[in-house]
Amino acid sequence: MRRSAVRADGAEGFVRSVTVTAEMPYMSAIHPCLDLHIRRYRPADARALFAVFHSAVHVTARHDYRADQLHAWAPKDMDPVAWAEHMERIKPFVAQIGQMPVGYADVQPNGCIDHFFVSGLHARRGIGRALMQAIETEAMRLGIGELWSHVSRTAQPFFEQAGFAVVEQRAPVRRGVVIPNALMRRPMVASTPGDRCTARGGDP
Ligand SMILES: CC(C)(COP(=O)(O)OP(=O)(O)OC[C@H]1O[C@@H](n2cnc3c(N)ncnc32)[C@H](O)[C@@H]1OP(=O)(O)O)[C@@H](O)C(=O)NCCC(=O)NCCS
């Protein structure tokens, strides 16, 4: 049995440890304190993950982007069918407390992390760190040489503490609005450059 563990700080109410059991077909991670559970995406999650995405952008990212940028990034009337299809395509890991999804993040076979979001009501509790651990474990399982993502200004300190470095500043246009971000990369073992990422659902 192969296991890996995540350790965050031990403050009350924070994630203190997460155990990921690699041989399980649907990865599971439970912390007794928060009842934090990390598992694979299910189609029924789509709506709840949109709420997480919307909250992460409009609550957590609001200090780093203007209102028009936030609305272009995460409009509240986003097409639910297109959203569900995108979630089905990227198949993220879902972090839930009890039965409630509070965060999600994916990794694609080319090393691209398309979406990485934690609910604004649950920020800075170690949930992102636990999701990153799930991604790292999956990347090692798939033999991915390098992780990379188009990272928002808000998420850059988080990605930096996870070992990513900024490669280039970007100025993508979403719904007619420029929403700056940065390409960040992190070698896993022997670095092999990933393909271009064509997914762009979470790209600010
Ligand atoms: C980025 C994000 C996923 C991080 O999730 P999180 O659960 O809040 O992160 P964690 O609590 O696991 O943070 C782990 C560490 O990352 C660093 N970190 C996280 N957020 C940070 C911030 N805003 N400023 C500085 N450091 C930060 C800290 O070192 C933190 O450890 P600490 O809390 O013990 O100091 C979350 O803030 C988010 O959803 N942001 C808005 C949406 C977004 O920009 N998503 C990324 C799109 S590419």
How many angstroms is it from 42 CA to the middle of ligand 1? Answer: 24
How many angstroms is it from 195 CA to the middle of ligand 1? Answer: 26
pTM of the model: 0.84
Q: What is the pLDDT of residue 202?
A: 65
pLDDT over threshold 90, residue 49: yes
Closest CA to 3 of 17, 18, 19: 19
Token pair of 76, please? 């509240």
Instruction: Report the topology of domain 3-144.
Output: Aminopeptidase (3.40.630)
DSSP assignments along 36-81, one per residue: EEEEE--GGGHHHHHHHHHHIIIIIGGGTS-HHHHHHHS-TT--HH
pLDDT over threshold 80, residue 19: no
| Angle 163-187-164 from CA coordinates, rounded to 5° | 25
Residue 1's identity, in one-letter code, is M
128 Cβ inside 6 Å of ligand 1: yes
Closest CA to 131 of 109, 101, 103, 173: 103
Atom of ligand 1 lying closest to residue 117 CA: 39
- Higher-confidence position of 30 and 46: 46
69 Cβ inside 6 Å of ligand 1: no
pLDDT over threshold 50, residue 168: yes
Q: What is the pLDDT of residue 30?
A: 47
Domain range annotation of the chain: 3-144
Segment 174-179 mean pLDDT:
98
How many angstroms is it from 197 CA to the middle of ligand 1? Answer: 23
- Higher-confidence position of 28 and 133: 133
Atom of ligand 1 lying closest to residue 202 CA: 47
Q: What is the pLDDT of residue 34?
A: 67
Segment 165-194 mean pLDDT:
88
63 half-sphere exposure, CB direction, 13 A CA radius: 4
123 Cβ inside 6 Å of ligand 1: yes
> What does the pLDDT look like over 97-149, one tens digit per residue?
999 999 999 999 999 999 999 999 999 999 999 999 999 999 999 999 999 99
Give the C-alpha separation, 179 to 143, whole Å.
32
Tokens 């490669």 sit on residue: 167
Ranges assigned E (strand) in the chain: 3-7, 17-21, 30-31, 36-40, 93-97, 100-105, 116-118, 146-152, 165-170, 173-174, 177-178, 181-187
Q: How confident is the model at residue 190 (pLDDT cuts 50, 70, 90)?
A: low
Segment 16-41 mean pLDDT:
57
92 Cβ inside 6 Å of ligand 1: no
How many angstroms is it from 140 CA to the middle of ligand 1? Answer: 22
Token pair of 175, please? 């719904």
Q: How confident is the model at residue 33 (pLDDT cuts 50, 70, 90)?
A: low
- Considering the chain, what is the average pLDDT of its residues? 84
